[in-house]
Amino acid sequence: MMRTVFRSWNVCMFLIVFGIIVSETNVNGQMIFYPSAALITDSVGNAVHSLQNKVVVKKLNDTLSYVTVMIEADKNAGISVIDIPVTVGFGDKAALDVVKNNFHWVPGINATAGQIIPQHLFRSPVMLFTFAKSTVVLIPDVKTITNESPAPYYMQVEYKDNVIVLHYGLSNYTAVGHRYYEKSGKTFYMPETLRVGFYVLNTKTSEPLAVLETTNFFLWQQFATDYTGSILPQTVSFDEYARTGYGMALDKLWVDAGKNLGGITLSTFFDSSTNSYRGRYFKNDLWFQSWFNNIRTAYGMYSWGKMLNRDGWKVKSMEMASLLLSAPIKQGWFPTIYDSESDRWIASSQKRGSVYHVPDNAWTAYWLLRFNDEMQKLPGAAELLVGLGEAVLRTQNENGSFPAMINAETLASDSTLNNSASSAMATWYLEELLLRGKIPPPLQARYKKAIERSLAFLSDTVLPEQLFEDFESYFSCSPKPLRYFDSSTNLYAQNTLSIQWCAEAYLKAFILFKDPRYLAKGEYCLNILSLYQQVWNPPFISFYAFGGFGVQNTDAEWNDARQAQFADTYLQYYKATGKKEYRERAIAACRASFALMVLPENKEVCPNNYTGTSINGESWPGTMAENYGHSGYDQRSYQSGFHWGTGSALTTAAIFARELSGFYSYASTKKIAAKKQVIHLSDQLRAYQDISLLPVYETGVTPGQESTYDRTGGNNDGFSGAWSFIRKEADSSLVIFEQAGPGVIQRIWTPTPTSDTLDIYVDDMARPVMSVCYTDLFSGKVFPFIPPLCGSGAGGYYSYFPILFNKACKIVCRGKKLQFHQIQYKLFSGEVEVESFRKDISATDKKVLGRIAQLWQTGFARGAKEKAVNQSVTLQPRQPLPVFQLNKGGRITSLEIEIDPAVSPFLDSIQLLTYWDGSITPAINSPLADFFGYASGVTAMQGLLIGSRANSHYCFLPMPFERSATVTLTNQNQQAVKLNVRVRYNLQKQNPVKEGKLYVKRQENALAAGDPSHVFLSVTGKGHYIGTILWAKGMKAGDTGFFEGDDSTSIDGKYFLHGTGSEDYFNGGWYNVQGRWDSARSFPLSGCLGYSLPLSFTGGYRFYLGDKLSFTSSFFHSMEHGRQHNDEAVHYRSLAFYYAP
């Protein structure tokens, strides 16, 4: 049995070897790990001759290798199994026993030896084993699994005398009771060549949490990031999901249970009198259980009622809560099923209603607690809530656990699932009572002690053995003996509900006791839960599967309804840790919760929704199957009821709408066409959500900027306030912007906002269209000036929310003094009409604004027709290597490069060159370190469009070309360098009339005092400027005064923009002031690359979207160096990004 959580074994380490056996001797002898050539057999077990059977191993970095097996066999030979054995040896059986009992994980367990883990269980496919201070994880490369694969893939674990054999291969399979799987023996035929690929991850730790985090991070980064940029499977607004779902439930499934009492019934009890399904155990019964819970649904429906002004929903929600409070209470315990036809309550769904099920009581009370605290106070709720807490305390076992079942007559603890992970749900509930202030101070110590004892039980008994068992493990559709143990994998049966309960119990303990050890144990549980999440969208499943969850290691479901409640747990862990992966997993699970909903817009997301039967309402819009593929095959499952599907999904969406900034605002994927010659707010916002528009030329626009720069050429750019206003009103208020239209303000920046009021006037209005506190223009408190278009950081405050004006715009500050600001704008020419700014923006514009918020958090969606070139390359010294070539028109949509950390110092000497349409002059010619925003040899830029995170480097700037493209890397180092390169592209060729190609100009100058300004770009012709990266190094130690220099821009031979200081240009402020421009800080469109006064170093970056600087004949863009007259010596290096023919 496993007992290795949070400790290591002091034995020998794995030795990772491929292709040949290498020995290392210590107290436990030799250790080996190597993949063998494929074993190919026919239906009777005879070997099939192969024409090619080659194993190739590429070591991608110190901890990761990629194994490719190239197989070629007779196309006419019937094949039953292709098996690739990967052997792990430890020297003797004693070491093997250690490994078997150490922490390990596989996606499914078996009923008999010889059974397999088919690709149907490849949600997060890994086979993971730990030993001493090392880990080996085999991870199938799911990107190589396609519809063209000749047979399903599988995995299998085999323990032998002194080795473990990890099998990966192909075989048709048979599902045994939808819980276990066997090779079927059915033959298949080979294509000409079959390429099988998988990763081997080996880390230098066996600590379970570290191993799990590393494995899950790899799965998420390698596979999930292909999908996180898209909002799929979401197809309509959350509002529309709510209207459809609640409308159906209240119309079709509502049950009146007395005056002001009622609920939503389930859908599996067949009523022969009406030939319909209404109820589960009884006609029209109403449940408050761990799956089907009217009070959780009531919480969500009340929330949406408030958001959408649907008072009727709130009334029905109150009736559902009131029904729960009408249940008879017996010394704190209450029944959870109401038989409306007989007007009676049943204790639970367990043991024919003879017991109270503690997790059902705790889960129900938890949602009643939240309803009472967050929605509407309920008479009698406090008594039920505290009464249950006291009842739970009275039943605590000597070992600290809580029983799972209580005899409904005697109130004695039942032995079934006593001392199990079910205890965690009761623990979580007790913690919530304390955290929400429901327990009087004199009683709190007793509750805390009980909680700590319960957590000790979980830590000592549940976590070491992964004993995550609950009622669903045994008493649902996957029956098996209690505490089922599979000796072929050396794992116990486990279920995800109790994993979530444990994760929540530890998280709340961390919040309650402030002990980081509880957080670590909670993350251990959460990371096991993550291995049930679908990190990809498989071709063998006929719905959009990314983000959903499976159920247990002896079942087959995809996208089970539990994913909705899991999403909230991930969100809470994100809040506690700040880990982006948890946030992305939460959002993916929330959206996945709607994938199986019957809805016309979902036909492409899940076409099999429309193969349901009409008799039980499975074709009604708003219904939902509880999961998919429950049979073990690509088949639609059936609905069990509204609560375990649409109702639960809507509850989580309501929570996310309130707690996750920008999530709810996305309203629709449908685009509304603007009227010709009319410019709407949504048109301006679109530039911030659709980066495919970045190469598109603008016509009839003139950029401009109002700023506080010193018109005398001095450095008084705002310090005194002399240049901080255009004129004064009669009451001495300061006019800071005044322009005739039509036009749009695109950016407002300041490092010195005040508490004074800004009045915004548009057109002929005598009164301001909006009055706002200056600081609240950036704080996110005042709609529509909200993140991510508005914010602050690195000493500066910025707003990119477009303020449109048709005839004129004026901004007046009602204070007496201002300092620095820049107000960038664009004027329109020609026969255009502008929809002027208003505070109460339209519903359509709110949707677009929300879409921006979502995209800036999760990344830009990739097109359905996008292709990818993925390759691991070795750059030989001074030998250019093309990593992408295409001899037809198209566009590169992303360039991603992954490196070993050891490669980082060499990036300065690896040159990126791109050539468009046969040109012999590179459009981009830059060291990789510069291109991805390194500073002083380390990663520094993590922008929305381009940057680097850890070992991953990305550029999402569109690169269109008309006829051909070549991307080359040249290694100027003296030694070979290995990189992983991914180029995504599509075949939408450049329209040279409407679009430019991407160019990057690199400039480097050592400037003496008095030298001219540093020129970012000087170019003739048409185009538009979209970004700057600047590195600056002063010539005097301890002096960064060169950064007082202003940016200056001339467009089409006319002077249009002048800044107020170098850090101001990058949306920052106050360099060398603690907490401001004093260290590397990244924001979506701008940031600081670092700051060191002793080294006289700093730098910044800024990119343009809707505010790109368009020119028709010429463009000149430069930066001064010094306070006035370029009086500081400096070394400047820059990249200028622009589109041009």
What pLDDT is recorded for position 277? 79
pLDDT at 178 over 80: yes
Across the range 1034-1050, mean pLDDT stands at 92
pLDDT tens digit sequence for 866-907? 899 999 999 999 889 999 999 999 999 999 999 887 777 778
Helices (H) and strands (E) in the chain, counts: 21, 59
676 pLDDT above the threshold of 50:
no
Report the pLDDT value the prediction gives residue 31, as an integer from 0 to 100.
Answer: 36
Q: Judge whether 421 and 469 are in contact, CB under 8 Å.
A: yes
The CATH class given to the 897-957+964-971+990-1140 domain equals mainly beta
Tokens found for residue 946:
């381009």
pLDDT value of position 1075 = 87
Nearest to 4 by CA among 148, 102, 73: 102
Span 365-389, pLDDT tens digits: 999 999 999 999 999 999 999 999 9
> Which of 199, 340, 184, 313 has its CA nearest to residue 258?
340
Express each pLDDT in 685-716 by its tens digit.
999 988 999 999 998 888 999 999 888 778 88
Check residue 858 and give its pLDDT.
66
pLDDT band per the 50, 70, 90 thresholds, residue 75:
confident
Looking at residue 33, its pLDDT comes to 64
Residue 663 has pLDDT above 80, yes or no: no
Q: How far apart are CA 397 and CA 403, in angstroms?
A: 7
Residue 436, Cβ neighbours under 10 Å: how many?
14
Q: Which of 8-12, 424-428, 476-480, 681-685 is most confident?
A: 424-428
Cα–Cα distances in Å, from 962 out to 67, 332, 893?
37, 74, 14
Percentage of the chain lying above the pLDDT 90 cut: 71
Strand 965-971 versus strand 910-916 pairing type? antiparallel
> What's residue 23's pLDDT?
29
Q: What is the pLDDT of residue 669?
A: 38
Residue from 560, 547, 543, 668 nearest 605 by CA = 543
Pick the closest to residue 44 from 209, 145, 183, 242 (CA basis). 183
pLDDT in tens, 579-603: 999 999 999 999 999 999 998 888 8
Of 452-456, 513-517, 947-951, 1026-1030, minimum mean pLDDT range: 947-951
- Give the pLDDT score at 114: 92
**Can you tell me the mean pLDDT for 30-57?**
83
Considering only CA atoms, which of 873, 936, 933 is closest in space to residue 900? Answer: 873
Please report the pLDDT score of residue 29 as a whole number: 33
Q: Which pLDDT does position 8 carry in this prediction?
A: 28
SS3 state of residue 333: strand
12-26, 87-101, 1086-1100: least confident range:
12-26
Q: Is the pLDDT of residue 22 over 90?
A: no
Structural element, H or E, at residue 1027: strand 1023-1034
Q: What is the mean pLDDT of residues 452-473?
A: 97
Model confidence band, residue 154 (pLDDT cutoffs 50, 70, 90): very high
The one-letter amino acid at 952: S
Please, are residues 989 and 890 in contact by the beta-carbon 8 Å criterion?
yes
Q: How far apart are the first and last CA of the chain?
A: 67
Q: With bands split at pLDDT 50, 70 and 90, how would you rate the model's confidence at 668?
A: very low
pLDDT in tens, 778-827: 999 999 999 999 999 999 999 999 999 998 999 999 998 999 999 999 99
Strands 808-813 and 734-740: antiparallel
Whether the per-residue pLDDT at 136 is higher than 50: the answer is yes
Question: Which architecture, in CATH terms, is 678-858?
Answer: Sandwich (2.60)
Mean pLDDT of 185-194: 87
pLDDT-derived band of residue 91, with 50, 70 and 90 as boundaries?
A: low
* CA–CA distances in Å: residue 377 to residues 88, 373, 374, 634, 1035: 60, 7, 8, 46, 67
pLDDT at residue 13 is higher than 60: no
Question: Which tokens go with 135?
Answer: 């880990």
pLDDT at residue 10 in the model: 27
> Is the model's pLDDT at 614 over the cut of 80?
no
Q: How confident is the model at residue 611 (pLDDT cuts 50, 70, 90)?
A: low
Q: Sign of dihedral through CA atoms 279, 284, 289, 292?
A: positive
Vertex 788: Cα angle to 787 and 794 (nearest 5): 95
Q: What is the mean pLDDT of residues 80-99?
A: 84
Query: How high is the pLDDT of residue 782?
Result: 94
Tell me: the pLDDT tens digits for 325-334? 999 999 999 9
Q: Tell me: the pLDDT tens digits for 549-562? A: 999 999 999 999 99
109 CB-side CA count, 13 A = 21
Question: What stretch(es) of the chain map to CATH 2.60.120.1390?
Answer: 678-858, 897-957+964-971+990-1140
Report the chain's mean pLDDT, rounded to a whole number: 90
The model's confidence at residue 717, banded by pLDDT at 50, 70 and 90, is confident
Percent of the chain at pLDDT exceeding 70: 94
